[in-house]
Amino acid sequence: MPPPGAAGDPITVGVLALQGDFEAHGLVLSRLGAVVREVRVPTDLDGLDGLVLPGGESTTMTLGIERERLADPLRAFHASGKPIFGTCAGLIMLDREHLGIIDIRAERNAFGRQVRSFEAPLEIGVSGGPVEAVFIRAPWIAEHGPTVEILAEVEGHGVAAREGAVIVVAFHPELGDDDRVHELFLQSVRDARAAA
Amino acid sequence: MRDEATFKVKAGLAEMLKGGVIMDVIDQEQARIAEAAGACAVMALERVPSDIRRDGGVARMSDPEMIQSIQEAVTIPVMAKARIGHFAEAQVLEALEVDYIDESEVLTPADEANHIDKWPFKVPFVCGATNLGEALRRIGEGAAMIRSKGEAGTGDIVEAVRHLRTINGEIKRLGGLSEAEIATAAKEHAAPLELVRAVAVSGRLPVVMFCAGGIATPADASLVMQLGAEGVFVGSGIFKSADPEARGAAIVEATTHYEVPERVLRASAGLGAAMDSIESRKLEESELLSNRGW
């Protein structure tokens, strides 16, 4: 495994920790060698190399972002070129109708209620074959702009996408042992830091 | 190649609820208030525990029409309660497509020997526990989430604290045991050996554990989170208080910032009266809800 930091200095990744499965993301990122910091207030963003918006309840997170006045600091973090990775509710938070950080429109609970939640192997363009994707009351990408690259689809709907330094997936790579999607994100964090 | 309702997606929804507050609601208006206050899910029921306690009689699954109206009112997950052992109520709730079923001691038990076999259901179950053995027996029956029971409808946190401390203490004591000792511990806890072994190795329950029963204030939420709860259920504590909007939002804030006293302080101020409470030690043995289930 290559050292996570470009110059041997470990990279520091924040995980938005207002509500949701931030702990699961933290475990994967630590396992991959990153220093992890939970983010609850704007000053927690200082000095981070990248940021994860986890799964959880998007309504709860939206209200939390309002309460903590995090929206503008999160947009500034993105504008500074730092990579951001959103999973499930995190994908929703980043869309046009929420933080406006990636040019997509998410359809919430698009697959239906919990009884429709599912696992499926999904090819998203990482080496080593499909990832085992866990979809829980998941959204899909209903619309997207021309600069957004759709990385994977389920039944004709985008469930993973990339635009610049922003990666979003509708499923939960943090819930399994397969770290390849997080590795893809960490690679973009390393690249961004090397370029800075 | 889609695999629905696996244990991973059942337990996974509980992961998504972590760090959040699940609020009891009895109608659409309360459900909307709960959602706007930042609840990560609502529990739809006809009477909150303090009313069940007051009214007496048999407490059953709520009217499906009422649950459905709440499903229509909010986009956050909607949970509903079935009686312990009443698998037919659970089947009805599954047909209604609630997001989680709480096999709950707050309702009157329907079976004195058996809990519901939860494995055949597509909808995940949350169950109450007062100690580690009870938690692992429920998980062995298919529960995908555990809540410490506390004493519902009292506004008294003491039972919740006891149950959390018991469960976490018992988990700690499994650490470092030899294989032979783990087998003995499984017998003592009356719990499945493979689950006891998994807890001994990982140092935690195999599913998410919330705290329930007696939470009435932001500081109560902070207390149980610091004692190891991964989120909280608030039953009567919000809508039986003077200002449910403010108290709901304050308990959400305190659950997120439970480790920061200044934030819990801010959340605690100016909320008006808490729910009317009952000291749980003054309750008769027969009045205790946490004794239901085994």
Would you call A174 a catalytic residue per the annotation? yes
Q: Per the domain annotation, does A2 fall within a domain?
A: no
Q: What is the pLDDT of residue B286?
A: 84
| Pair type for strands A50-53 and A140-144 | unpaired
Distances (CA, A) of A87 to A34, A53, B21: 18, 6, 21
Task: Write the residue in A40, A60, A119 that is nearest to B40 by C-beta.
Answer: A60
Q: What is the pLDDT of residue A65?
A: 98
Q: What is the pLDDT of residue A196?
A: 84
**Which residue range(s) make up the domain with A33?**
12-195
Q: Which of A25, A78, A163, A174 is catalytic?
A: A174
Q: Per the domain annotation, does A116 fall within a domain?
A: yes
| Contact residues, chain B, for A152 at CB < 8 Å | none
Q: What is the pLDDT of residue A9?
A: 81
| Contact residues, chain B, for A134 at CB < 8 Å | 8-9, 12
Q: Which pLDDT tens digit goes with each residue over B181-233?
A: 999 999 999 999 999 999 999 999 999 999 999 999 999 999 999 999 999 99
Domain tally for chain A?
Answer: 1
Q: What is the pLDDT of residue A7?
A: 52
Divide the 196 residues of chain A into consecutive groups of 10 and give the mean pLDDT of each group. Answer: 57 98 98 98 98 98 98 98 98 98 98 96 95 97 98 97 98 95 98 92
Q: Which of A25, A88, A98, A144 is catalytic?
A: A88
Q: Per the domain annotation, does A166 fall within a domain?
A: yes
CB contact under 8 A, B19 and A137: no
Chain B closest-CA separation from residue A28 CA (Å) = 15
CB contact under 8 A, A57 and B5: no
Q: What is the pLDDT of residue A8?
A: 64
Q: What is the pLDDT of residue A5?
A: 44
Q: Per the domain annotation, does A145 fall within a domain?
A: yes
Q: Per the domain annotation, does A83 fall within a domain?
A: yes
| Contact residues, chain A, for B3 at CB < 8 Å | 118-120
Instruction: Concatenate the DSSP letters of all residues of B40-107 into one string.
Output: SEEEE-SS-HHHHHHH-S---PPPHHHHHHHHHH-SS-EEEEEETT-HHHHHHHHHTT-SEEEEETTS
**Residue B22: in which H helix or E strand, if any?**
strand B21-25
Section B76-86 average pLDDT: 98
Q: Per the domain annotation, does A98 fall within a domain?
A: yes
Using the predicted structure, report yes or no on whether residue B91 has a pLDDT greater than 70. Answer: yes
Chain B closest-CA separation from residue A81 CA (Å) = 28
| Helix extents (H) in chain B | 7-17, 28-37, 49-55, 64-73, 87-95, 132-140, 158-174, 179-189, 193-202, 218-226, 236-239, 244-256, 261-268
Q: How many residues does chain B have?
A: 294
Instruction: Report the complex ipTM.
Output: 0.94
Section B148-165 average pLDDT: 95
Give residue B123's identity as a one-letter amino acid code: V
* pTM of the complete model: 0.96
Q: Which residues of B belong to the active site?
A: 81
Using the predicted structure, report yes or no on whether residue B124 has a pLDDT greater than 60. Answer: yes
Q: What is the pLDDT of residue A151?
A: 97
List all residues 6 or more positions away from A105 whose beta carbon is below 8 Å from its beta carbon: A95, A96, A97, A141, A142, A143, A144
Chain A closest-CA separation from residue B141 CA (Å) = 19
Q: Per the domain annotation, does A49 fall within a domain?
A: yes
What CATH number does the domain containing A150 carry? 3.40.50.880
Q: Per the domain annotation, does A1 fall within a domain?
A: no
Task: Write the residue in A56, A108, A119 that is nearest to B6 by C-beta.
Answer: A119
CB contact under 8 A, B39 and A60: yes
Instruction: Concatenate the DSSP letters of all residues of chain A into one string.
Output: ---SSTTSSPPEEEEE-SSSSHHHHHHHHHHTT-EEEEE-SGGGGTT-SEEEE-SS-HHHHHHHHHHTT-HHHHHHHHHTT--EEEETHHHHHHSTTTT--SSEEEETTTT-SGGG-EEEEE--S-TTS-EEEEESS--EEEEE-TTPEEEEEETTEEEEEEETTEEEESS-GGGSS--HHHHHHHHHHHHHHHH-
| Contact residues, chain A, for B75 at CB < 8 Å | 59, 108-109
Instruction: Give the residues across from A77 on adjacent strands.
Output: none
Confidence of residue B53 (pLDDT cuts 50, 70, 90): confident
Chain B closest-CA separation from residue A178 CA (Å) = 14
